[in-house]
A and B are shown apart, each in its own frame.
Chain A
Amino acid sequence: MAVLSSLPGVITLSVVFLFGCIGETISEKAGNLNLGIPGIMCFGVVGGTLGSLIYMRLIYPVMPVTANAFGLVEFISYALLILLGIVFSFAFGAIGGLIYSFLTTTLKANQNVTGLAITTFGAGIGDFFMSLLRSGDGFDLCERVGKIYGFHLTNATLSDKGLIYDDANWHMGFISSNNPVANIFSQPSLVYICFILAIVVFIVLNKTRIGLSLRAVGENPATADAAGINTDKYRYLATIVGCGIAGIGGLFYLIKSQGSWDGTYELQSYGWMTLALVIFTIWNPLIAIAGSILFAFLYSIPSYLNVDMVTGMFLTLTPYIVTVVVLIFTSIFGKKNVLPPGSLGVNYFREER
């Protein structure tokens, strides 16, 4: 029963992984090994918080959402909430991706170094802005930010935790009961968006011309270039979109933790887990759905089981062990199509001799 009741929580956590994993997969398929994902997710948190803040200050007072009534106004309000959150976290993540792409694709900086720099940078940005946004003075700052975007923030009353989504009713109205299995289906709508996104990304990568070109750029940019593909454009776009998606993962982390915030530490460790997950799922978004659930399960199961701390720590370690095992297996027995993209981590410069 402990396992069953943990399932909704597992799925929520898995979505954080899955967003990051989809984003990183897109980026890596285009040849950019973005180790900045943990930082990018922190960017996303800041963006998501800002989005929700704007919602709280501007839209919620006009169109409040309550747990019992669900009419047209509530629906629009709710949709705007999701939209603002997504747009802002995507945008913030994408900015991180833009920095990364500019450094690696335009300036040809080393990808690993750049990625690590983005990670530390993102963590710093996350810690700084989140503490600002959450402190009493933060409201002024938010107002200023809001004015930059052309909004006039009103002095709506907010609960003490009100910056975060737990004030709004998130549930889409799927079955919500005490039955733990049924509860799996009562997830925030972003969960479903995420699973659908994984499928869409898989189709785009493997069945469309854009995907073919993108994979070509990641496998062998010189070949793609000679075939007339704009490699820089693909690397930029893949990384920016990928980072945007990972940024939404950051937003979802806030939703998952229901507004409690204790620094970027936990999110960063999720970010690294995401990087491991990409390898584990052999760069396939469909496998990533199952993989992220498995990882989330292994990661969160100790808190549902009555185990001592050491055993719990060991269980949270298992995803990494599993990743190493997968790496060993794909390296020894793998055919070429389960290996990483051919030019992963290598920048391309046409006139290099």
Chain B
Amino acid sequence: MENIVQQDISIRFENITKTFGSVIANEKITFDVYRGEILSLLGENGSGKTTLMNMLSGIYFPDEGQIYINGKKVTIASPMDAFKHKIGMVHQHFKLIDVFTCLENIVLGIADKEKANKNNARKAIKELCDRYGFEINLDKKVYDLSVSEKQTLEILKTLYREAEILILDEPTAVLTPIEIRKLFSVLSNMRKDGKTIIIITHKLNEVMEISDRVAVLRKGQYIDTVKTSQTSEAQLTEMMVGKKIVLDIGRTEPKNMEDRLFVEHLTLTDKDGTKVLDDVNFIARSGEILGIAGIAGSGQRELLEAIAGVKPGYKGDVIFNRPKKNLPVSFFHKTYREVVNMAKKGAFHYENGTPVDFTGMSSKKIKELVNAEKIIFNENEIYNLRNLNPRTIRELGVRLSFVPEDRLGMGLVGNMDLVDNMMLRSYRKGKGIAVNRKKPEALAEEIVHELDVVTPNLHTPVRKLSGGNVQKVLVGREISSSPKVLMAAYPVRGLDINSSYLIYNLLDKEKQDGSAVIFVGEDLDVLLALCDRILVMCEGKVSGIVDARTTTKEEVGLLMTKKNEDEEETGGESND
């Protein structure tokens, strides 16, 4: 097969340069793509993969350089031009219109009257579906579709426009393992048909599995193209990152474990009456990382949101054992009466655990007693989070950092700068009417410095930062508050390798500092390497809690699909 593809050049990029303000997104990129091959475009976040492909699909226009299609010079100034050259792109954030049906989305914008006719389109699409193995209901509205169906629709859209060159931007990011399988088989069919396919990705295992060749970009520059059969993941990583990096999460042993959060019989029913969470029970302990694994949409998000108070109205309890102090007694700024009253509630105890009762003692006597014996002041507070509002829960130290698919959707305001975004979490503190910007500014500076956030300055609107950098800000802000319970959902979603490991290490550091960390992840390898225990969810139920140090990927994968035994493949296997 390699011999066939060698001769036929489908696309040639020549000295393509694109800048956004002072940022150089692509610099003098030159390489070829052959007809009938699947080429992976590999690179870290912000390396300019999507920008380059957007120039091929007419979204951006190159500042310099020339694109050749089938050997001819072309100018692609708009998406319309791209169609003329039979280029179709499936964007990472799907370009579909929610309130239209699938069919309407497909014929949208087609100038040819014959082709735009819905009846003609219906027939032609059916043929396409049979040929490549798609399944789709054309009369469904897009808002009723699953993510994978939306992707199918996007691909069909390009195929119906007779695309010969198909670009897919991060196609597997939001798919389940089974759906990825399906997608790959479709792509293989299309390759057999002589179509040119470019996949933008940074998942190495998928690169190895599907592509014929790999082109690597690094920081806007083209590094090289290699044949997949003649390379390895390690080599690709090196090309991508520039220096050899050690892919090792330094997991520390948990210490000072204390039961921190008790989730008991938590059941949540959504609007339609289906149970998104079904009798969830677990304990999160301080000083350890509890991983949550499961196929996307198994209730992970809802679970965290319920704990954080964002989704109230559940049945069951979330008991938060909040350590306030565990210190030798000091009577500093406490009155005698207060001390006695606290003692009645069991706030003081000897080292062996028996509580002390100060009733009837004089102030002097108490002081003597305290000085003589080693009395510990322990004022754990027990809260049932079910009865509290999100703000109170946050202030108690239960923090949720959720990274949604579009990153900006939750927790950051795109038009505000870094400092103001820091303030979103703290503006209620402080006295007076005017806000105090000094502390948030210091915090923003610290995060930028510590996490290596690439930004022109602290007052750049967050939406202008690249995705990875936005995420660092989001996670950094939550961690900075040194929470008692830190819930991080998909904190590395879409991040490159370096940034991901930075985040993993931050989580591990939080654990050492005594937080109870709950980590929801997508990558099983990471879950196994980072966490102490892994809770596996399946369709809203806890299908098992395993020790991350002794379990295997197969075991977790099996638990992930425990309920749907009719499914042939398990999530664990296809993640290999």
Partner-contacting stretch, out of B77-85, B217-225, B318-326, B532-540: B77-85
Query: Which of A313-353 touch B at CB < 8 Å?
Result: 336-337, 339, 342, 350-351, 353
B79, A228: Cβ atoms closer than 8 Å: yes
Contact across chains for B108 and A219 when beta carbons are under 8 A apart: no
Contact yes or no, B108 A212, CB < 8 A: yes
Instruction: Tell me whether B97 is interfacial, beta carbon within 8 Å.
Output: yes
Known: A209-B116, A213-B108. Contact between A226 and B97, CB under 8 A? no
Nearest A residue to B23, CB-CB: A353
Residues of B within 8 A of A227 (CB): 79, 95, 108-110, 157
B99 touches A229 (CB 8 A): no
A216 at the interface (CB under 8 A from B): yes
Contact assessment for A213 and B109 in the assembled complex, using a CB-CB cutoff below 8 Å: yes
The distance in angstroms between the C-alpha atoms of A315 and B97, with both chains bound, is 40
With A223-B96, A228-B79 given, is the CB distance from A353 to B108 under 8 Å?
Answer: no
Q: Taking A219-B100, A226-B57, A228-B83 as contacts, is the C-beta distance between A353 and B20 under 8 angstroms?
A: yes
A112 contacts partner chain B, Cβ-Cβ < 8 Å: no
Contact yes or no, A228 B97, CB < 8 A? no
In angstroms, Cα B104 to Cα A337, docked, is 14
Interface residues of B in 200-215 (CB under 8 A from A): none
Q: Is B111 an interface residue (CB 8 A)?
A: yes
Tell me the complex Cα distance, A209–B120, Å. 14
B-side contacts of A230, CB under 8 Å: 80
Task: Mark each residue of chain A from 219 to 238: 1 if its CB lies under 8 Å from any CB of chain B, else 0.
Answer: 11011111111100000000
B80-109 interface code vs A (CB 8 A; 1 in, 0 out): 100100000101000111111000100111
Q: A188-231 vs B: 1/0 string, CB under 8 Å?
A: 00000000000000000000010011011001101111111110
CA distance A91 to B60 in the complex (A): 36
Cα-based distance from A220 to B97 in the complex (angstroms): 6
> Considering only CB atoms, which chain A residue lies closest to B109 in the complex?
A227
User: Which residue of A has the minimal Cβ distance to B84?
Assistant: A228
- With contacts A209-B116, A216-B97, A219-B97 taken as known, whether A350 is within 8 angstroms of B59 at the C-beta atoms is yes
Known A-B contacts A216-B108, A229-B108; A223 and B141 likewise in contact (beta carbons under 8 Å) = no
Q: Determine the residue in chain A with the shortest Cβ distance to B91.
A: A226
The closest CB in chain B to the CB of A229 belongs to B109
Set of chain B residues within 8 Å of A216, measured between Cβ atoms:
97, 100, 108-109
The answer for the CA separation of A158 and B286 in the assembled complex, in Å, is 92
CB <8 Å contact, B464 and A222? no
* Distance of A56 Cα from B512 Cα, bound (Å): 89
Min CB distance A174 to B, Å, is 40
Known: A212-B108, A226-B59. A219 touches B99 (CB 8 A): yes
Residue-wise, chain B 101-135 has the 8 Å CB interface mask toward A (1 for contact) of 00010011111010010000000000000000000
Which residues of chain A are near B113, meaning CB under 8 Å? 209
Cα A351 to Cα B83 with chains together (Å): 19
Q: Which residue of A lies closest to B20 (CB)?
A: A353
With a CB–CB cut-off of 8 A, which chain B residues contact A336? 98-99, 141, 143
A228 touches B111 (CB 8 A): yes
* Chain B hits for A219, CB < 8 A: 97-100
Tell me the smallest distance from the CB of B480 to a CB of chain A, in Å. Answer: 26
Q: How far is the CA of A224 from the CA of B57 in the complex (A)?
A: 14
> Could you tell me the distance in whole angstroms from the C-beta of A209 to the nearest C-beta in chain B?
6
Q: What's the Cα separation between A216 and B109 when bound, in Å?
A: 9
What residue in chain B is nearest A220 (Cβ atoms)? B97
Out of B100, B109, B143, B463, name the residue touching A228 (CB < 8 Å).
B109
Complex alpha-carbon distance, A286 and B65, angstroms: 52
Contacts of A220 in B (CB 8 A): 95-98
**Residues of the A chain whose Cβ atoms lie less than 8 Å from the Cβ of B104:** 212
Task: Let me know if B107 and A212 touch, CB within 8 A.
Answer: yes
Specify which chain A residues have a CB less than 8 angstroms from the CB of B157 in the assembled complex. Answer: 227
- Return the CB mask of B11-31 against A: 1 if under 8 Å, else 0: 000000000100000000000
Interchain CB contact under 8 A, B464 and A353: yes
Q: Are A226 and B89 touching (Cβ within 8 A)? A: yes
Which residue on chain B has the smallest CB distance to residue A227?
B109
Q: How far is the CB of B17 from chain A (nearest CB, A)?
A: 15
Asked if B95 and A337 make an inter-chain contact with CB atoms under 8 angstroms apart, the answer reads no
Task: List, in ascending order, chain B residues with CB within 8 A of A353's CB.
Answer: 20, 463-464
CB <8 Å contact, A342 and B59: no
Give the CA-CA distance A246 to B38 in the complex, in Å.
54
**A223 and B20 contacting across the interface, CB-CB below 8 Å:** no
Could you mark each residue 288-325 of chain B with 1 if its beta carbon is under 8 Å from any beta carbon of chain A, else 0? 00000000000000000000000000000000000000
B409-438 contacts to A, CB under 8 A, are none
The closest CB in chain B to the CB of A209 belongs to: B116
B82: min CB distance to chain A, Å = 8
B141: chain A residues within 8 A (beta carbon): 336-337
Taken together as a complex, chains A and B put the C-alpha atoms of A228 and B108 apart, in Å, by: 9
Contacts of B463 in A (CB 8 A): 353
| Cα A350 to Cα B79 with chains together (Å) | 11
Q: Which residues of the partner chain B approach A209 to less than 8 Å between Cβ atoms?
A: 107, 113, 116
Taken together as a complex, chains A and B put the C-alpha atoms of A224 and B157 apart, in Å, by 13
Among residues 37 to 65 in chain B, which have CB atoms less than 8 Å away from a CB atom of chain A? 57, 59-60
Contact with A along B427-465 (1 / 0, CB 8 A): 000000000000000000000000000000000000110
Closest CB of chain A to B559's CB: distance in Å?
A: 36
Interface centre among B79, B80, B108, B113 (most CB of A within 10 A): B108
Residues of A within 8 Å of B464, CB to CB, are 353
* B78–A342 touching, CB < 8 Å: no
The reply to whether A351 and B79 form a contact with Cβ atoms under 8 Å apart is no
> Which chain B positions have C-beta within 8 A of A339?
99
Q: Which residue of B lies closest to A223 (CB)?
A: B95
Contact B108 A342 (CB under 8 A): no
The residues of B that contact A224 with a CB separation of less than 8 Å are: 97, 108-109
Chain A residues in 8 Å Cβ range of B57: 226
18 extra interface residue pairs, beta carbon distance < 8 Å, beyond A216-B109, A228-B80, A350-B59:
A209-B116, A216-B97, A216-B108, A219-B98, A219-B99, A220-B97, A220-B98, A225-B79, A227-B110, A228-B83, A228-B110, A228-B111, A336-B141, A336-B143, A342-B97, A342-B99, A351-B20, A353-B20
Give 14 A-B contacts (CB < 8 Å), ordered by A residue. A212-B104, A213-B109, A219-B99, A220-B97, A220-B98, A222-B95, A223-B97, A224-B97, A224-B109, A226-B57, A226-B89, A228-B110, A336-B141, A353-B464
Q: Return the 7 tightest CB-CB contacts between A and B, nearest first.
A: A227-B109, A223-B95, A228-B80, A228-B109, A229-B109, A226-B95, A219-B97
B contacts, CB < 8 Å to A: 20, 57, 59-60, 78-80, 83, 89, 91, 95-100, 104, 107-111, 113, 116, 141, 143, 157, 463-464
